[in-house]
Structure 1
Amino acid sequence: MKLCWLGHSGFLLECGGKRILIDPFVQGNSMFPGSLANEIKNPDYILITHGHGDHLGDSIGLYNPDVTKIISNFEICNWLISQSVNNCIHMNIGGSFYENEIQFTMVEAIHSSSIDSGNQVIYGGLAAGFIIKYKDVSIYHFGDTEIFENMKLIEKNYRPNIGLIPIGDRFTMSPYTAASACNEYFNFNVVIPMHYGTFPMINGSPDTFIEKINNKDSAKVLNPGEFLSI
């Protein structure tokens, strides 16, 4: 398996011969590596954690009806269908979808969710995180979230060994609370900070996160466009 950070909360995951995009925010993402423009075309799956424009992002533009399945919550999928995106897997918190030996599970996040659609702001359902499990690897993309005590149940039930965690502050956990979540609730082999540095207001520092995390060897700061074998 290989994982690549696309800047902000976006990731490209390659596993089982399939290509998975998570929160593919490209247009307006100053951190997106242009060299990967072709790599992200025609993905097998697109996972959307919530409806905000920096997470729903370029999902419609990257969707290929002959190849791609979009996985998101009920409300976002219904909106996507209204935009002629028909191959959408409706989910909700706690549910799983299995295909090609990959398990996709939607888990709780504490955050808002809405969709800007023309002049309308549409309810985007509950924000979520995702567990992506393939063979012995379990990846937890936190989405946008505050720290919450039920994270201990995510650890108990899914045992994620790779964590993709927001540290930017203002809209999500800060480096301090993200480190506290890792220290209190999880046993990650690798934890990758995300959702920072894209805009001036999300200025949480990965150096601070590493300083506060107990298992410093688990922290891996990726450059946008950098691949990590997991």
Structure 2
Amino acid sequence: MKITWLGHASFIIETGGKKIITDPFEEKVGYPLYAGEVDIATVSHDHYDHNAVHLLKGDPLVVKGRGVFELAGIKITGYPSYHDKRKGEERGENTVYKIESEELSILHLGDLGHILDDRMVEEIGRVDILLIPVGGVYTINAEEAFALAQKINPRIIIPMHFATPALTFTLAPVEDFTSKFAHTVKKPYLYLERKEDLPGETEVIVLDYTNS
């Protein structure tokens, strides 16, 4: 399995011979658009910086909302959540996706605006790799992301949705989140050949969108 960050909340997950893109964005977000074809696209909510499936190449299966979706041995489960702390009154709903493939589980939190409660964390179950927004403003902030990451307790944490030189609007820097951990690793992408390649203890990995 290979995970590459395209910027914002968008990743390319290569697994089982397929390519999954999460939360594809429009060009005005600031990052380069993905030029390759994809097989599956997940959309956490209908905002332009997360739902640009019309720009994707190929004929991807578009996954939106709650429920279970399966393709070629890849299982994707959508869990309901909110884009704010007032049950969607301010910015609407958000879908959290658990992606299971190659005996690994990834949780993509989209534009989550609140800390998931214990019931939802228990329902989601084991998470190996957590893709979590940390930039605040439109999502949970660094402090909330840290608290939620402790609850979920994944083996790998990959922050997303934070300020970079490419982004055209204001979010907090990733350092607000990573400074809460004793050690952070920077990588161009994450590659795991098998489940046994997961670290023994929780590791924070910051990916570089310029390598996508």
**TM-score normalised by L of structure 1:** 0.73
Which residue of structure 2 lines up, in the alignment, with residue 85 of structure 1?
A: none
Partner residue in 1 for 2:145: 178
Q: Distance in 2 between matches of 1:109 and 1:98?
A: 21
- Tell me which of 62, 69, 72 is aligned to 1:100: 72
**Residues 4 and 13 of structure 1 are in contact (CA less than 8 Å); yes or no, is this contact kept in structure 2?**
yes
The secondary structure found in structure 1 opposite 2:12 is strand
Residue 63 of structure 2: which of 38, 52, 71 is its match?
A: 71
Question: How many residue pairs are counted as aligned between the two chains?
Answer: 186
Structure 1: runs of 5+ lacking an equivalent: 74-91, 113-123
Contact 1:145–1:173 (Cα < 8 Å) also in 2? yes
1:209 counterpart = 2:177: yes
RMSD: 2.3
Aligned to 2:47: 52
Greater share of helix: 1
How far the C-alpha of 1:188 sits from its partner, in A, is 1.2
Per-residue CA distance 1:160-180 (angstroms, 9 max, x = gap): 110110011111011111011
Q: Contact 1:50 / 1:56 at 8 angstroms: preserved in 2?
A: yes
Change (3 A) 1:24 1:180: same
Q: Which 4+ residue blocks in structure 1 deviate beyond 3 angstroms?
A: 213-217
Matched, 1:62 2:56: yes
Q: In the alignment, is the contact (CA less than 8 A) between 1:179 and 1:213 conserved in 2?
A: no
Which structure 2 segments of 5+ residues have no match?
85-90, 185-201
Give 1:159 shift. Answer: 0.8
Show the counterpart of 1:2: 2
Cα pair distance change 1:199/1:27, threshold 3 Å: closer
Q: In 2 relative to 1, CA 127–173 (structure 1 residues): closer, same or farther, beyond 3 Å?
A: same
| Residue equivalent to 1:128 | 95
C-alpha distance in 2 between matches for 1:151 and 1:127: 18
What letter matches 1:223 in structure 2?
D
Distance 1:49 1:145 in 2: 9
**Structure 1 residue 215 displacement after superposition:** 7.9
> Cα deviations across residues 50-106 of structure 1 (Å, max 9, x unaligned)?
00111012x112153xx3211113xxxxxxxxxxxxxxxxxx2xx211221111000
- Say whether the 8 Å CA contact 1:4–1:225 is kept in structure 2: no
TM-score (normalizing by structure 2): 0.78
Q: Is the 8 A contact 1:109 1:144 kept in 2?
A: no
Distance change (3 Å), C-alpha of 1:157 and 1:141: closer
Aligned to 1:153: 120
- Is the Cα contact below 8 Å between 1:138 and 1:158 reproduced in 2? no
Q: Deviation digits for residues 180-204 of structure 1, max 9, x if unmatched?
A: 1112x111111111111124421x2
Structure-2 change in CA distance of 1:225 and 1:100 (3 Å): farther
SS at match of 1:28: helix
Partner deviation per Cα, 1:110-145 (whole Å, 9 max, x = no partner): 216xxxxxxxxxxx9732111100132100000111
CA contact (8 A) 2:16 2:102 kept: no
Over residues 146-170 of structure 1, what are the superposed CA-to-partner deviations in whole Å (9 max), with x where a residue is unaligned?
2324255335543111011001111
Contact 2:115/2:140 (8 A) holds in 1: no
